[in-house]
Every structure is written in C-alpha cells, then in structure tokens.
Amino acid sequence: MFFLRGPFMRITTLAAVGICIGILNIQMAGAQSGGKQIIGRDPASTMPFSPAVVAGDFIYLSGSLSREGNFTEQAHAVFERLGQVLEQAGAGFDRVAAVTVYLKDTSDFQAMNEVFREYWPTEPPTRSTIQADFVTPDALLEVSMVAIKPGAERTIIKPDDWAENANPYSYAIKSGDTLFLAHLVGRNYRDNSNVEGGIQAETEAIFEAARQLLAEADMSLANVVSSRVFLGDFDMFADMNATYREQWPDFPPARATVLAHGPGSSPLGITLVAVKGERERIIRPNPDGTPGRVSPILSHAVRVGNRLYLSGMLGVNDETRTDTQAQTRETMATIGRTLDAAGFGFEHLVDGIVYLTDMSEWGEMNVAYVEAIGKDFPARAAVGTGLVSSDGRVEIMFTAVR
C-alpha cells in the first residue's frame, strides 16, 4: 500500500536492517524491468512495493490508504491518488476492471458506495469488499485495482435474466482471454434473493452464478485460474470445502482462503479470475527436491500463456510457529520453489496480496519479503485478516508475468 497526507514512520525491526520507511515520492516516468513496467516509483524509495506495474494488457495498482479525516474524506483521497497513478500509466478510471475494497468497518459500506458512484457513474468495474485491518491504525479503507490498458477490450458481462445490481459494481468484466468476476455471495442473482440451506447451499449458489457469468463469456469453471475465498466463520470451512472441491475434481485453480467477512449477512464470498487458453498445473517440489503433494482443493500455481497465478502460501512449521519474520521467510522460499518449477522468478512478480493476522508485525514480514524479492517490487496490498491455519501469521498470494 502507499500512504497519503503526511509522513509515515513505524518503529520496527526494519530499522535494524537499515530499511527506512518514508514517503513515496511519485515520479512521472515508469521503469522497465524485464516484461513488466514499474509505474510511479521513486528510484530512491525503499518501500517494498511499486505504486503500479504494467504487464501485458493489464495495470496492477498497489493498495492505497489514507489516515486523515472521516470515511468520505479518506475515500476521496484514496481514489484521487489511485487516479494519479492510473494517469501515469496512461489510463483512467474507465479502464479499471477489478477493485478490491478493504473496510475497517463494514458499516461504511454505503458511504463507500456513494464515493464509488462518483468515480464510476456508469459501467463500473467488478468489486470485492471485505473487512480488514491496516498498518495505519487511523485508516478506514484500503483500495487496490487491476486496470486494462487503453485499446484493449473492456466488456461488461451480465446474463440478460439477472436483476440489476443495486450496488455500483459490475458482476464480470472481460478483456480478451481474461474474465474478472466480482465477489460473489450465496444469492440468486436473477431476483437478488438470498439462498437458504446453509453454507453448502450458499457455496453451490456462488458457483452456479459463476457458471452463468462464465458462460456469457464463452468460458466455464475449467477456465478459472485463481480463486480468493473469504469466509466469516472457520466452523464452516470443512463444509464449504466439501462443496468447493466438487467444482474442480481434477484441476482446481490457485486459491487463497482467509477469515474475513464482507458486508451483509452472507458468511462466504468468492472472487474468481478465468483465462481462456491451455492451462498447466504447477506442482512445486519439496525443499529436499522430492515431488510435492498434489492438493485436492487447489493448485500450487496455474500457468496459462505467459501468466502464472500462485496460491496463497504459508510458512508454518515447528521452527516458525511463533515468529512472523521466520514464517514469511519460509513462505517466500516456498513461493520461490513454485516460481522456479514454472520457469519464473521473483523478477516476474507483478501483483501480490499479503494477509497478516497482526498488522503490528507488518515490519517483521517486510524484512523477509524484501530479502526474497530484492528490487523491482510488484504492486501489493497488505491487510489484516484471520487465516485458516491456526498457527499461521502470514499468507501471501502472487500473480507473475513473463
């Protein structure tokens, strides 16, 4: 994330390794790094993320937050800042395909909707909205985005028999071979009625809605490469998983699952990305080089064309159980093995999300994060949520492009 309105300083062990957390001074020029272009990063900055990264037809924007004023004032500051980064990348709000909004308090959902309508009075992007904590205690929201470069397709997808969305976001947006789906919940989208019958019925309803959206784009669940699952109650995890795994008996997408609640009464929301093309399931090796275990509910990573979608990864073992920095170091090593198995490297990372159970350990996480990536950082959001691993302190999910 990048910060607005005033200096930011956190006393952490980052200081012990000489990493200074300061103000990110945005420049107009982008820096080219391999197949990706970094936008808006001051060469002197030590922040462990780039404001935006352009790769292929997409622009990946880091999470942005503010810490001054009421919710509406902070939301305006965040969107204005993201608008500046979009402009530097040669795009505008009309090119945004997918937005993730993290709210400190879901009671601000309607206030967020009103601000959202100001920036997208028509043809809004898809959106995921969940509750989370932030590294800056006074921040009330954080927003990250994926936009489409000018000239590339941006088509809104909605079945004709679906009711109009009362909230200002689209259910799906297609760009070439890629479909971004919104955060779907257990609802009958034809009439916006809630689905009864418990978590398994809600999970099936989400996938029925996804199948309908995918069909409108001439795709199917077999084209889904990445899944983010937001679950409000860990006690529902096993039942949700039982229905989830039925959707992909042979080749599940990459996936991250965290304990986080969206607005409204539904305890479950799922956000998907689908890509047409030949998919390759990446199975990472174990640290000793032996073949890794194949999971029935996720792929370690999915490669399609020049893109790689990685699952959320953890680094919990007996040695790291109580140490966030050590867990992050192990997580990044696991990510490194996964990238290598797919023929990618850390230099190909373009977008990431870090889930932390305790945001006061943001600095501890960054020490190991910086060690692994080194430079040419991807765009990134970092937020506080629960994890389904009882001893997990950090989970990290990436997208890479060669």
- Residue 55 CA to chain centroid, in angstroms? 16
**Rounded Cα distance, 187 and 201, in Å:** 10
Look up residue 43 and give its amino acid.
P
Residue 11's pLDDT is 30
pLDDT (mean) for 75-80: 98
| Coil vs helix vs strand at 312 | coil
At residue 351, what are phi and psi to the nearest 5 degrees?
A: -155, 145
pLDDT of residue 156: 98
Structure-token pair, residue 274: 């689908």
Rounded CA-CA distance 169/364 in Å is 36
Cβ neighbours for 137, distance < 8 A, ≥ 6 positions apart: 67
Instruction: Please state the separation of Cα 326 from the chain's center in Å.
Output: 23
Per-residue pLDDT, 30: 54
Residue 274 has pLDDT above 50, yes or no: yes
Q: Looking at per-residue confidence, does 83 or 10 come out higher?
A: 83
pLDDT given for residue 298 in this prediction: 98
pLDDT at 189 over 50: yes
pLDDT in tens, 321-366: 999 999 999 999 999 999 999 999 999 999 999 999 999 999 999 9
- pLDDT of 119 higher than 70: yes
Residues 140-186 pLDDT 10s: 999 999 999 999 999 999 999 999 999 999 999 999 999 999 999 99
| Confidence at residue 23, expressed as pLDDT on a 0 to 100 scale | 31
* Listed range (5-9, 29-33, 176-180, 367-371) with the worst mean pLDDT: 5-9
| Mean pLDDT for all residues in the chain | 92
- Can you tell me the distance from the alpha carbon of 64 to that of 220, in angstroms, rounded to the nearest whole number? 33
Beta bridge partners of 281: 302
The one-letter code for the residue type at 186 is G
The number of residues in the chain equals 402
pLDDT band, residue 308 (cuts 50/70/90): very high
Our count of domains for the chain comes to 1
Count Cα neighbours of 327 within 13 Å in the Cβ-side half-sphere: 26
Alpha carbon distance 124, 146 (integer Å): 13
The whole-angstrom separation of Cα 209 and Cα 207 is 5
- Residue 394, pLDDT score: 98
Nearest-CA neighbor of 162 among 184, 129, 147? Answer: 184
> Helix H segments across 89-146?
109-119
Closest-CA residue to 350 (of 3, 37, 28): 37
Structure confidence at residue 14 (pLDDT): 34
CA distances from 260 to 50, 207, 256, 257, 270 (A): 26, 19, 12, 9, 11
pLDDT at 277 over 70: yes
Tokens (6 digits) for 258? 């965290």
Structural domain range at position 336: 2-401
CA 165 to chain centre: 23
pLDDT at 264: 87
Q: State pLDDT tens for residues 200-239.
A: 999 999 999 999 999 999 999 999 999 999 999 999 999 9
DSSP 313: B
Q: Which pLDDT value is given to residue 32?
A: 55
